[in-house]
């Protein structure tokens, strides 16, 4: 009998919690991936770079498995139906996978667990994506934290650099099921084409780590780790990332803690998926002007740092964190467009899109989420440019026509917009 390892957001054979636990029994391991049509059907861009990335990583895994006389089982279709097919095709005793904290994944896994249990097959999920999950870092009263700084302090006090180490084990042909080698379905077989977008490589060099805090806010410097998409799809484990972070200044680990903070918010307060964390803010009267939204998505607002960021996102699937904050603030505060519009646009375009981080950060910028600061923080796009791209180095790359007649005039007066948003927010909160 086999233990089926269902890979999802953990596309690696090393340092993987489900694999580690499966190796504790005598069962041989069989590896499986499902191209879930419920997810794929929602993707508008048929040459989505993230689907390409998953496909490439699966090929690498299949190649590794072939060295052990095995092969990755890949199915394309609805998760539950595909799982049933695998159960019918192979002698499976149990199914091990790593826990995924998004509401969609939680309900999919509950359904799959029911299906398995009705067939006397054990279905187990393991903590792999985070160091601490939603019930592990709690306030003294047993409730989840909703403010980052005390959460971060508790996280750090609970963390043990000797305990939270990468998993170590050896895979070989005696602990892996021997399966006839099979090609995984091609991109076109699952309804996609090739993407020309390049996936940024992880940078955990000593130079990056040692200078992280000093340089991380300057988009022209490219001084961050590019861990985003790799943590999203698990080509690196969070345990390894944290081990690297321990060699750096405090700030880098703090960023990884932000990631876990927002993950536990999404699990503990699933309403944030569609609503403001702070209920009064559901009262805000958004203007939601579609033409203005288009100018924003196309990088034609007339505010150079906003336009540079939006053009970079469209062209590369990436945007620097500082610039993400500026463009998000511009959309929500200057244009009074619902943060959920921006959240959805980022979800379609960001290589590192992660529901918890994206939702948490959009709500943070909109002032309606988990943030100790009050809503009246409004980023000034001109001042931000002066501070973080003073020589227009980053901007020039994406807005080469800056300073010519073809560059649009600012679409709005920032001072006017600032007063307007403050009035609108005040009204929403006072009438709640
Ligand atoms: P580094 O600066 O090298 O940081 C290392 C890792 O720490 C990141 O890969 C990420 O996993 C984590 N991290 C860093 N900053 C944050 C943060 N503010 N919140 C949560 N985790 C963080 N990050 C995503 O991973 N997915 C998203 O969908 C996403 N959407 C965002 C939307 C907005 C409006 C904003 C302002 C930020 C968003 N972020 C998101 C956070 C952040 O911008 C990216 O994590 C970061 O830019 C990725 O680049 P990096 O890997 O080089 O980051």
Q: For each of the domains in the chain, give its residue range(s) and CATH number, in order of start.
A: 1-129 (3.40.50.620), 130-163+204-268 (1.25.40.80), 272-430 (1.10.579.10)
- The finding on whether 259 has its CB within 6 A of some atom of ligand 1 is yes
- Positions in the chain short of pLDDT 50: none
- The finding on whether 324 has its CB within 6 A of some atom of ligand 1 is yes
Q: For position 161, what pLDDT does the model report?
A: 85
- The finding on whether 227 has its CB within 6 A of some atom of ligand 1 is yes
Q: For position 377, what pLDDT does the model report?
A: 87
Q: Please indicate if the annotation marks 352 as binding a ligand.
A: yes
Reading phi first (left if > 0) and then psi (alpha if -120 to 50, else beta), residue 3 is in beta
Average predicted confidence (pLDDT) for the chain: 96
Q: For position 254, what pLDDT does the model report?
A: 97
Q: For position 347, what pLDDT does the model report?
A: 97
Contact 37, 338 (CB under 8 A): no
Q: Residue 180 burial (CB < 10 Å; 0-12/13-18/19+)?
A: exposed
- Ligand 1 centroid vs 167 CA: distance in angstroms? 25
Contact 87, 119 (CB under 8 A): yes
Q: For position 305, what pLDDT does the model report?
A: 98
- The finding on whether 352 has its CB within 6 A of some atom of ligand 1 is yes
Closest approach atom of ligand 1 to CA 319: 47
Residue nearest to atom 10 of ligand 1 (CA): 228
- The finding on whether 225 has its CB within 6 A of some atom of ligand 1 is yes
Contact 93, 27 (CB under 8 A): yes
Q: For position 334, what pLDDT does the model report?
A: 98
Rounded to two decimals, the ipTM of the complex is 0.99
- The finding on whether 357 has its CB within 6 A of some atom of ligand 1 is yes
Closest approach atom of ligand 1 to CA 232: 25
Q: For position 159, what pLDDT does the model report?
A: 96
Q: For position 131, what pLDDT does the model report?
A: 98
Residue pLDDT, tens place only, 68-111: 999 999 999 999 999 999 999 999 999 999 999 999 999 999 99
Residue nearest to atom 36 of ligand 1 (CA): 325
């Amino acid at each position: 009998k086999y233990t089926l390892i269902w890979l999802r957001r953990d596309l690696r054979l090393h340092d993987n919690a489900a694999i580690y636990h499966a190796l504790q029994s005598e069962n041989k391991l069989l590896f499986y991936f499902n191209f879930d049509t419920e997810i794929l059907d929602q993707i508008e861009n048929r040459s989505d770079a993230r689907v390409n990335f998953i496909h490439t990583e699966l090929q690498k895994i299949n190649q590794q498995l072939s060295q052990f006389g095995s092969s990755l089982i890949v199915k394309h279709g609805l998760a539950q139906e595909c799982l049933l097919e695998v159960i019918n095709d192979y002698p499976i005793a149990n199914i091990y996978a790593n826990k995924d904290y998004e509401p969609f994944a939680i309900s999919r896994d509950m359904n799959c667990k029911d299906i398995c249990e009705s067939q006397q097959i054990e279905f187990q999920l393991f903590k792999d994506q985070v160091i601490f999950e939603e019930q592990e870092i709690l306030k003294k009263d047993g409730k989840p934290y909703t403010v980052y700084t005390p959460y971060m302090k508790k996280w750090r006090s609970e963390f043990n650099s000797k305990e939270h180490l990468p998993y170590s084990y050896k895979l070989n042909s005696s602990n892996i099921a021997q399966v006839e080698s099979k090609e995984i379905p091609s991109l076109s077989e699952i309804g996609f084409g090739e993407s020309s977008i390049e996936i940024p490589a992880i940078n955990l060099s000593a130079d990056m780590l040692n200078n992280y805090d000093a340089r991380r806010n300057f988009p022209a410097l490219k001084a961050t780790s590019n861990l985003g998409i790799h943590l999203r799809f698990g080509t690196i484990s969070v345990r390894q990332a944290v081990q690297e972070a321990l060699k750096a200044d405090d700030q880098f680990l703090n960023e990884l803690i932000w990631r876990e903070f927002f993950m536990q918010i999404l699990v503990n307060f699933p309403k944030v998926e569609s609503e403001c964390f702070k209920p009064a803010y559901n009262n805000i009267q958004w203007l939601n002007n579609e033409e203005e939204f288009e100018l924003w998505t196309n990088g034609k607002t007339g505010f150079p740092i906003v336009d540079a960021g939006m053009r970079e996102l469209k062209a590369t699937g990436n945007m620097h964190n500082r610039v993400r904050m500026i463009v998000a603030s511009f959309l929500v505060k200057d244009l009074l467009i619902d943060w959920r519009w921006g959240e959805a646009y980022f979800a379609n375009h960001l290589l590192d899109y992660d529901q918890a981080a994206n939702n948490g950060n959009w709500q943070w910028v909109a002032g309606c989420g988990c943030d100790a600061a009050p809503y009246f923080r409004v980023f000034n796009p001109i001042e931000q440019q002066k501070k973080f791209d003073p020589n227009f180095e980053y901007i020039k790359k994406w807005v080469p026509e800056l300073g010519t007649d073809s560059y649009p005039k600012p679409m709005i007066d920032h001072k006017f917009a600032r007063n307007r948003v403050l009035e609108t927010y005040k009204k929403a909160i006072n009438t709640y």
